[in-house]
Structure 1
Amino acid sequence: MTLRAPNPPLAIGFMLTATAFIAGTMILAKLLGTGALGTPFHPLQVSHGRFLFAFLALGTMAAVLRPQIRRPDLRLHVGRTAFGWGGVTLMFAAVAYIPLSDATAISFLNPVFGMLLAIPLLGEKVGPWRWLAAATALIGALVLLRPGPETFQIAGLLALGAACLMGMELIFIKKLANREPPFQILLINNAIGLCIATLAVVPVWTMPTTGQWAALAGIGLLMAAAQACFVNAMARADASFVTPFSYLTLVFAALYDGMVFAVIPDRVSMLGALIILSGATLLALRERKRGISI
């Protein structure tokens, strides 16, 4: 990818657009998973649609742009994609059962899990402020899980598992980021993801209706567009500067959930989300001070 001149306002615009698109994929996944568009879809079929149409979009771009593929590290790509596919599948399962804002807030734990996993896997050292940020975010997740015999959200564990898998994905992304061009990473990621998702969906695949095909296409195209916006944001400003703006995904998720399903976040949801965002923001600030992209 050609280096771009720094442009922080444009970078923020790209990141905000990416957050709106990502929240859009989640509301479409919820429509499919809850049966609002017909027979409820298995999360494996939703994630298959996500990779299928995202790959078609990126493949079309590759056919037009004809980028040079530079000796990809397939071992890292397979590892990154396997964990990413598992994470997004669990997230699609979670949003069918819990408020979109809760699932989105819990997903913000992925950089926390990424930080924790980087200790044994990358040999990184973690100071007291980063431990405080991690502990704060995990307390927020506990609040959102609503521990108690009558209030515990079992489906919240799906979102927690998704965040953990996506945290593992971050380890592979860190290893790939400085080795290969961003578009190459996205293209190969979605190609491998499509292969994994196709094998996994075979036992549960059902013929979609026209509306379900449209939703699946929407998920894939919005995700591809979100990834493109994310890459463009990173190309125009430091990652540590634009990353906190990604937390606005929570705002769009709550807005879409309210508009489509009339779900309004309650006080517990808002408290838990606020605690998680506080921890995630503290972690982002510490990484920015250390000059590291999370």
Structure 2
Amino acid sequence: MRSTILIAVVSMLGCTMLVAGTSLIAKALGSGALGTVIHPLMVSQARFVFGFLAVAVVLSLRLASGRKAWVQSPQTPKPNWTRHALRTLLGWTGGGLMFAAAAQLPLADVNALSFTSPVATMLFAMLLLGERVGPWRWGAAVIAMLGALVLLRPGAGVIQPAALLAVGAAVAMGIEAIVIKRLATSEPPGRTMLINNAMGAVLSSVVALTVFVWPQGATVWAGLIGMGVVMVTAQILLLGANRLVDASFVAPFFYLTLVWAAVYDIVFFDVWPDAVSLTGASIVIAGGLVMTWREVLNARRAAVPASVTVQALR
């Protein structure tokens, strides 16, 4: 039992480190730190194209070893293409906005704003699915949004457009979470990852044609390839941790993403979090933890596992 918990903890530490790492790579590519400035649409393209290749390799190895549970499901032999398409569109939108914001803002601020996505999930689940929202979840949502307001820095005289991009990303990922919940209850994770990355590769490549310039330099190519591989590796670590322990144990670890993001800012860009960033992030985390606690309680009462956080699946 102890070894199982230890493996889950290590998996989540690696997962959150890699999730924050995608923001780091996006910032490095978008700011020109790796040689040339790469447009956010091309960063999104790399995330899906190389992510698809990585997923295809992993699933091929699993199928070759006889492990088919990740890909095949007797209950749902055919994919729900409408849900997959909607999830991909939302994921591509959220990821693209996030990558654009990361190129202009401190990584800690971008990741903190992304953690307001559960608020969007709650609101749209209430409006679209008719879910009841109790006072605890409303209170948590208000707390998280107050933290986001602090991070938007309205007292500075003008709200940074890049911060609004991060908020838009959080909204897209929040709606995506609703679709992911539906897919997670009916389709195997490997098939979902493969279809999502395949659809995303096609969509992002078509849109990226409008700004595409052939990347120059080995470091730029390493960043583009790394974007897809790192994201897929984070997804696999998350799925592995969720198989070993309860989702209620896993969920709080996601807030370590903010710690990793702050460390990356300091080490790679010499950007230290100021009082506003620390205050806003702390408020967002407080609201997020309250909301996570209520989700876990509701899931236990309904005897359904708590949903996987969309943050690591963007």
Q: Deviations over 1:1-57 (max 9, x none)?
A: xxxx99333222211111001111111110110111223111000010111111111
Distance 1:237 1:190 in 2: 26
**2:46 paired with 1:49:** yes
Q: 1:216 aligns with which of 220, 224, 245?
A: 224
Q: Cα RMSD over matched residues?
A: 1.5
Q: Alignment partner of 1:206: what SS? A: coil
User: 1:151 deviation in Å?
Assistant: 5.4
Paired amino acid for 1:43: P
Matching residue of 1:249: 257
Paired amino acid for 2:260: F
Q: 1:179 aligns with which of 186, 203, 228?
A: 186
Matching residue of 2:197: 190
Task: Give matches, 1:235-274, under 5 Å.
Answer: 235-274=243-282
Matching residue of 1:293: 306
Q: Alignment partner of 2:104: what SS? A: coil
Distance 1:233 1:117 in 2: 28
Distance 1:187 1:112 in 2: 28
Paired amino acid for 1:189: N
User: 1:191 deviation in Å?
Assistant: 0.8
Matching residue of 2:311: none
CA contact (8 A) 1:100 1:257 kept: yes
CA contact (8 A) 1:83 1:166 kept: yes
**2:28 paired with 1:8:** no
Q: Deviations over 1:236-262 (max 9, x none)?
A: 112222111011000001101111100
**2:242 paired with 1:229:** no
Q: Deviations over 1:172-229 (max 9, x none)?
A: 0011111011111111111111111111100101111221111011111100100000
Task: Give matches, 1:77-226, under 5 Å.
Answer: 77-148=84-155, 150=157, 152-209=159-216, 210-226=218-234
Q: Deviations over 1:107-132 (max 9, x none)?
A: 00111211111102222100000000
User: 1:153 deviation in Å?
Assistant: 2.2
Distance 1:264 1:151 in 2: 21
Matching residue of 1:34: 31
Matching residue of 2:312: none
Paired amino acid for 2:306: S
CA contact (8 A) 1:6 1:237 kept: no
Distance 1:265 1:6 in 2: 35
Normalised TM-score (structure 2): 0.89
Distance 2:291 2:200 in 1: 29
Residue identity over aligned pairs, in percent, reads: 47
User: 1:65 deviation in Å?
Assistant: 2.0
Q: Which runs of 5+ in 1 are unaligned?
A: none
Distance change in 2, residues 1:63/1:168 (3 Å): same
Residue correspondences, number? 290
Q: Deviations over 1:150-177 (max 9, x none)?
A: 3532210000000000001001001111
Distance 2:237 2:51 in 1: 14
Paired amino acid for 1:23: A
Paired amino acid for 2:20: A
Q: Which runs of 5+ in 2 are unaligned?
A: 300-304, 308-314
CA contact (8 A) 2:137 2:294 kept: yes
CA contact (8 A) 2:36 2:220 kept: no
User: 1:139 deviation in Å?
Assistant: 0.4
Distance change in 2, residues 1:262/1:151 (3 Å): farther
Normalised TM-score (structure 1): 0.95
Paired amino acid for 1:71: K
Q: 2:82 aligns with which of 58, 75, 79?
A: 75
Distance 1:162 1:145 in 2: 14
Which 10-residue stretch deviates more, 100-109 or 5-14? 5-14
